[in-house]
Amino acid sequence: MDQKIMDFRSDTVTRPSREMRRVIASAEVGDDIYGDDPSSNALSEYAAEITGKEAAIYACSGTMGNLLALLTAGRHGESVLAGKSSHILCSEVGGAAAIAGLCPYELSDEGGIPSPEEIDRAARIDGDVHHARTSILALENTHNYAGGIASAPEEFAAAAREGKRLGFHVHLDGARIFNAAVRHGVPVSAYTKEADSVQFCLSKGLGAPLGSMLCGSREFIDEAVRWRKRIGGAQRQLGIAAAAGLYALRHNIERLAEDHENAALLVKLLKAGGVAVEEVRNMTNMVFFPLHGCRLSDAEFEAGCREKGLLLLAISPRRIRLVTHLDVTRADAERAAEIISEVLSS
Ligand SMILES: *Cc1c(COP(=O)(O)O)cnc(C)c1O
């Protein structure tokens, strides 16, 4: 018998739906480097419109979108303030330093968004000759490694405004900013209007197979276009991917609420089964729990769940992550909780 595989490793594992594939197959395309791809242009215009920015460009990945923002807003030898556990500092292979030449200064980000006081503390703007002068503040929302926390618009605005007051370019790593907007019941512009640039992923909960968008002022995006070409990220018949992205933005934002409900259900069921789930305020589509006290190694635990049809991820040693998305159902969440209890008690 074929066992159904429930993939909770990430929301990046979503596959294009039948309707999205139809849209991809019939996409009008041209050469995007000549500005001739109608589907790419339509996606950029729509992304700019919903984020309230003047312009937007497609990037191959969220990592590239963030890197383009850092390259465009900073200069070699300056510094970027970013969360200690931010994706930019932890999971982008050191690109901020290695490619953009920016010295990273860490902010405490246990709660997701650092406080204005924390930003003041970390900023290097005092003219001290020993310091790499700060030019960029990078904020992440929702915050992945802090537990998928969706910071509220006011909290986000307080940090962003402090960054602007200090004269920094404020970049939002909004890989999952639509999850934050849906969680708080606000339009995404409630966040993006506070930042100078925003990167968001089409390829995560929105369900497109590829890509991210970087949005900002016309001047900023014109410069980012040059950087994208320089690092080899400009592409030709981009409409094949862009059409999927536009479809995702038009159809898959509101439904993120279902993912949040399924994650909340998972937390409830795991807790009822005695699992020490990490409880965060304003949770979205991620669930984390520690493996402390379990005699299985991380790999054994993953394998035990896999045998029963559940894929999940040891995101760091002794810390397990599950992510809900449009390819997992409420029944899958219920079954996942059962499997986890079975494997933990085996
Ligand atoms: C996934 C992610 C990225 C990077 O996106 P990729 O498309 O995987 O490169 C950036 N920031 C955050 C917070 C992410 O979760």
Chain position carrying tokens 């497109």: 208
Q: Ligand 1 centre from 201 Cα, in Å? A: 7
Strands in 169-173's sheet, in edge-to-edge order, are 55-59, 212-216, 197-201, 169-173, 134-140, 79-83, 103-107
- Beta pairing partners, 138: 171
Inter-residue contact 53 to 177 (CB < 8 Å): no
Angstrom distance (rounded) from CA 161 to CA 194: 7
Question: Which among 292, 293, 291, 295 is positioned nearest to 312, based on CA atoms?
Answer: 291
Say yes or no: CB of residue 72 within 6 Å of ligand 1.
no
- Which atom of ligand 1 is nearest to 66's Cα? 10
Q: What global pTM score does this model have?
A: 0.97
Atom index in ligand 1 nearest the CA of residue 60 equals 7
Supply the residue whose CA is at minimum distance from atom 10 of ligand 1. Answer: 62
For the CA of 212, the closest atom of ligand 1 is: 7
Residue nearest to ligand 1 atom 3, measured at CA: 62
Q: 141 in ligand 1 pocket by Cβ < 6 Å?
A: no
Ligand 1 neighbourhood includes 63 CB (under 6 angstroms): yes
Identify the bridge partners of residue 289 per DSSP, sorted by sequence position. 320
**Of 320, 321, 69, 15, nearest in space to 217 by CA:** 69
Q: Is the CB of 175 under 6 A from ligand 1?
A: yes
Q: For residues 58 and 228, give the distance between their C-alpha atoms in angstroms, rounded to a whole number.
A: 9
Taking the alpha carbons of 239, 244, 245, 251 in that order, is the dihedral positive or negative? positive
Structure confidence at residue 1 (pLDDT): 55
Q: What are phi and psi of 33, to 5 degrees?
A: -70, -25
Q: What's the pLDDT score for residue 249?
A: 98
Domains and CATH numbers, the chain: 18-251 (3.40.640.10), 255-345 (3.90.1150.10)
DSSP state at residue 279: P
Q: Tens digit of pLDDT per residue, the chain (346 long)?
A: 578 899 999 999 999 999 999 999 999 999 999 999 999 999 999 999 999 999 999 999 999 999 999 999 999 999 999 999 999 999 999 999 999 999 999 999 999 999 999 999 999 998 899 999 999 999 999 999 999 999 999 999 999 999 999 999 999 999 999 999 999 999 999 999 999 999 999 999 999 999 999 999 999 999 999 999 999 999 999 999 999 999 999 999 999 999 999 999 999 999 999 999 999 999 999 999 999 888 999 999 999 999 999 999 999 999 999 999 999 999 999 999 999 999 999 8
How do strand 6-7 and strand 310-311 relate by DSSP bridges?
A: parallel
Scanning the structure block, which residue is given the tokens 């953009």?
A: 100
Cβ atoms of 57 and 221 within 8 Å: the answer is: yes
Contact 107, 126 (CB under 8 A): no
Q: How far is the C-alpha of 61 from the C-alpha of 233, rounded, in Å? A: 10
Instruction: Report residue 187: phi and psi, to 5°.
Output: -70, 150
Cα(172)–Cα(214) distance, integer angstroms:
10
Structure tokens at 111: 């709660």
Pocket test for ligand 1, best of 91, 212, 325 (most atoms within 8 A of CB): 91
pLDDT given at position 126: 82
What is the CA(179)–ligand 1 centre distance, in A?
14
CA dist 285 → 280, 320, 325 (Å): 11, 14, 7
Sign of CA dihedral 216, 169, 254, 269: positive
Give φ, ψ of 209 to 5 degrees: -75, -25
